Amino acid sequence: MNVDTMRNIDHYAGVPLTFIGTIIKKTIQFFAPPKKIKPKNVLLIELSEMGSAIIVDPAMRKLKANIEGELFFVIFSKNKVSLQLLETVKEENIFTIDESSILNLALSAIEFLKWCRKNKIDSAIDLELFSRFTALLTATCGAVNCVGFHAFHNEGLYRGDFLTRKVAYNPHQHIAKNFISLVDALLTDEVQLPYTKRIIPDDEIVIAKATISDEEKQDVLAIISQTYEGFDREKNPIILVNSNASDLLPQRRWDKENYGDVIKMILTYNSDAIILLTGAPAEKDGAQLLTDYVSDKRCVNFAGAVKFLQLPALYSVSKFMLTNDSGPAHFASITDMHTFVLFGPETPALYSSLGPTTPIYAGMACSPCVSASNHRKTPCTDNQCIKIITPEWVFNTLKPKLDELNS
């Protein structure tokens, strides 16, 4: 299903279902109030964003260290692999929902309810900001403790009233700290309204680093050697460019010609550097258009050349990456590679990578134009927030990293 279809289903089916579900749940709780229990088997719900599965990792590690039971996760099937990069959640504790069709979505949801009872889920944290579907999963998974973001008096999306511990989403601090506040709300014995009333310091959202063996690095270097004839690791610094943005928010896309012009500047500035255009196998044709535009043998179409779980090894042997605001910026954060990230309709203040990174952001009067309150759907058809960023601006921003290669 495409993104708009899923949004429409979430709205037209989700609103009445969450309304009816709230009435049913409140009625049941009136006659049989739930017992207070200490969190043991905790489920985290985050379906649609691969990058969020990385950003939430500091919160998951804190939760894992403070419960006696198990950590569980539910995610769309196409995004599951993002959880395998750091392996914070056991493979057998991950449930995937098939979003390929309405029927498969419904069948997966039914299986999910059985899976939750089998694993004795007692607590659930809804990490989503704007999904009625995840609100329904939270309400029906059997958890006694239900934590998530609540609109309170804000003009937000209606998601029913299923939460036992309501957290106020803070649109002025990084989403990683918002995730920590959800964990704090579950772990505290103090009743608060809203949760969580404390300062969350930056050192609580430090991302874990992937463990990458020399063998994994050598495997990736061998693939690069096969792709670029005459590759010399000591002579040819590897620079990555990810020019693809997901369909979830097409306003994030920067023109391929702009990427091409920056690449040409890099190759001119450093005569030994090679550029690898990264992406999924399905993005190979788009990467080829950029390769043809640059028309230099040192600019290589590398989309689909390595498997997803080989990305950390690729990042670890590369000098830096230029990318739009999308998953790869967050995948790279589990390594020490520096990223330069183009931001347009969203802000790095909330969604910047947790690794070594430099955001490139114009900060126009209309930016950011997507948020939890508008379902991340903007009316903008002329994304000047990203168009205003010139190739010269980007090149001058990353030039100090190029100078380091020559020092």
What letter would DSSP give residue 297? T
Per-residue DSSP letters for 219-281? HHHHHHHHHSTT--TTT--EEEEE----TT-GGGPPPHHHHHHHHHHHHHH-SS-EEEE---G
Residue 97, helix vs strand vs coil: strand
Tokens 């299986």, located at residue: 111
pTM equals 0.93
Note down pLDDT in tens along the chain; length 407 residues: 777 788 788 888 999 999 999 999 999 988 988 888 999 999 999 998 888 999 999 999 999 999 999 999 999 999 999 999 999 999 999 999 999 898 999 999 999 999 999 999 999 999 998 889 999 999 999 999 999 999 888 767 789 999 999 999 998 999 999 999 999 999 999 999 999 999 999 999 999 999 999 999 999 999 999 999 999 999 999 999 999 866 667 788 899 999 999 999 999 999 999 999 999 999 999 999 999 999 999 999 999 999 999 999 999 999 999 999 989 999 999 999 999 999 998 899 999 999 999 999 999 999 898 876 676 778 888 999 999 999 999 999 999 999 999 87
Query: What pLDDT does 34 receive?
Result: 83
All residues at 6 or more sequence positions from 302 whose CB lies less than 8 Å from its CB, including other chains: 224, 227, 276, 277, 278, 279, 287
Category of 85 on φ-ψ map: left (φ > 0), alpha (ψ -120 to 50) or beta: alpha
Domain covering 3-205 assigned CATH 3.40.50.2000 in the classification: yes
- Within 173-225, strands assigned E span none
Identity at 168, one-letter amino acid code: A
Q: Is 3-205's fold the same as 214-406's?
A: yes
Q: What pLDDT shows up at residue 245?
A: 63
- CATH domain 214-406 topology: Rossmann fold (3.40.50)
Instruction: Count CB atoms within 10 A of the CB of residue 74.
Output: 25
**Residue with tokens 């460019």, as numbered in its chain:** 241
The pLDDT score that the predictor gives to residue 246 is 61
Rounded to 10 degrees, what is the CA torsion of 135, 141, 143, 148?
A: -20
- Residues contacting residue 252 through CB under 8 Å, at least 6 positions apart: 245, 324, 325, 326, 342, 343, 344, 345, 346, 383, 386
**What residue has token string 């930056």?**
202
Q: What is the pLDDT of residue 10?
A: 87
| Domain spans of the chain, in order of start | 3-205, 214-406
Handedness of CA 360, 363, 369, 373 (dihedral sign): positive
First-last CA distance in the chain: 50
Q: DSSP assignment, residue 33?
A: P
Which amino acid belongs to residue 279? Answer: G
CB atoms near residue 103 (< 10 Å): 9
Give strand pairing partners of 73: 44, 94
